[in-house]
Amino acid sequence: MTKRLNLILFLIYGVVIMGQEQIQYLNGIVENDTTGFPMESVHVLNLNMVEGTTTDKKGGFEIRAQPNDTIYFSYLGYKSLKVAVTKDMIKFGNSKFRITQLAYALEEIILRPYQLTGYLDIDVRNAPINSSGRYRIQGLPSSGYEGGNRNPNAISKTFAALFNPADFLHNLFGKKGVQMQKLKKMRESDELKNLLASKFDREIINQLLNLNPLDLDEILRNCNYSDVFIKESNDLQILEAISGCYEEYRVLQF
């Protein structure tokens, strides 16, 4: 009886040890390529595991990773960096990663303030408004779909896109099952959602879905989101829009 108990305890211990060995972390420091100074608040994302973090005041970070995973670094005004994880990076730690500042050619900007009169009824008519209409379809979970504008053809476009999944939506979602699973994991991570809420460059979403910015805009338009929404929404809102469109596509498939 004692031998059997010892064997069971040994097996449990072995399983625990193996589980611990499988969890590996990449530790590193992100620096400015020009100055060599550490950079705080750089977004660090494991594209394979769909986990993210940001660098601390000393440029340091720690993220779960395995050899051959791809780590993606992004920071506003700097060129994004993708690095393949090696065994030595995980084993020795404190790897240094340098990102380069982008050079922008500044163009002349002409500010045209609204001509406010002080009379509310006049100023309200002169203020710009979002002309995008939204329509709700009974039986589907979304609170509404953007038709692009308030004209009679807008709602026709909405129904045509939703009830013809064999065309654009099928070509999009039918071939990107793995990427859509990654988006699902992103929605479950509070840390990643907080990170995306502060971003407006779509870089992380484009990387996960293997899309260019023009493709992403086309996806959102075919999911009946307006140009105003596409232009002004942060990355978290874009994530929710694509995920919601995917869920509705799945409803229509079944």
pLDDT tens digits along 192-228: 888 888 888 888 888 877 777 787 888 788 778 888 8
pLDDT digits (tens, 9 = 90+) for 13-63: 554 444 445 789 999 999 999 999 999 999 999 999 989 999 999 999 999
- CA nearest to 44, candidates 27, 57, 61, 59: 61
- Please state, for a pLDDT cut of 90, what percent of the chain lies above it: 27
Overall pTM > 0.85: no
Phi-psi sector, 246: left (phi>0), alpha (psi -120 to 50), beta: alpha
Q: Which two tokens stand for residue 101?
A: 């500042």
Range scoring the smallest mean pLDDT among 18-32, 141-155, 170-184? 141-155
Residue pointed to by tokens 């595991």 = 49
Mean pLDDT of 54-82: 94
Confidence band, pLDDT 50/70/90 cuts, at residue 169: low
Structural domains of the chain sorted by starting position, each given as residue range(s) with its CATH number in brackets = 22-99 (2.60.40.1120), 132-253 (no CATH)
**Roughly what angle, to the nearest 10 degrees, separates helices 213-222 and 235-253?**
50
Is the pLDDT at 125 greater than 60? The verdict is yes
3-state secondary structure of 1: coil
Q: Are 70 and 85 in contact (CB under 8 A)?
A: yes
Residues paired with 81 in a beta bridge = 73
